Structure 1
Amino acid sequence: MDDITQNARYREARRHARNLRGWYIHALIYVLVIGGLFTLNLIQNPGRIWAGWSAFGWGMGLLAHGLSVFVGPNFFGADWEERKIREYLEKRP
């Protein structure tokens, strides 16, 4: 493997590791803050669970962040459209 290819692979691996670390930090903060909100909610107003809305909204953001890290940016990236066009054309006579 030449140096250019190896360097590009290293940069890609480093970018992925940073994105992965960012998602784990995001998930940890989510658990801590949502846990605190539920605790506060149960102390102040146990009859009405409002913290669930925060957990749901932030959870959607965490899910989107996770998809970008674990599935990758190519989930709906530039090559996705080209791939779908080729699939469509292969199905049609």
Structure 2
Amino acid sequence: MKQLTDDEIYRIAQKRVKEKKDFYNHLSVYIVINLMLIGIWAFTGSSYPWFIFPLGGWGIGLIFHFLSVFGFMRDESDWENKEIQKEIGRLKKNL
């Protein structure tokens, strides 16, 4: 298995921090915009809660963004490395 250089480790860490920062920005915009939509709904006196459609649709996208950033859907290379390590362990165990 290939060892990573300090520069490669730094670039990977920098990329992950940027992904987290982008997620938190996305979350902040989601909260602000949806609070505004709820406010508009409340001030117009509308009885039908129409704001749930953008809130829910955008929320689904936000959930997928969260999953991709915080490791549930990491790059295939991470998955491949883990699977390779599992196979190495199985082979060593059986020898």
Counterparts of 1:53 and 1:38 in 2: how far apart (Å)?
A: 11
Pick the structure with more helix per residue: 1
* Residue 11, structure 1, aligned to residue 20, structure 2: no
SS at match of 2:31: helix
Take 2:33 and 2:70, find their aligned partners in 1: how far apart are those partners? 23
Structure 1 residue 12 displacement after superposition: 0.4
- Which structure 2 residues correspond to residues 1-93 of structure 1 after superposition, within 5 A? 5-71=5-71, 73-74=73-74, 77=76, 79=79, 83=83
Which runs of 5 or more structure 1 residues have no equivalent in the other structure?
none
CA displacement, residues 17-61 of structure 1 (integer Å, 9 cap, x when unaligned): 000000000000000000000100111243110001110000000
| Alignment TM-score, normalising by the size of structure 2 | 0.72
Report how many aligned residue pairs link the two structures. 81
Gaps of 5+ in 2: 91-95
Q: TM-score, normalised by structure 1?
A: 0.73
Q: Percent identity?
A: 24
Q: Aligned partners of 1:11 and 1:72: how far apart in 2?
A: 20
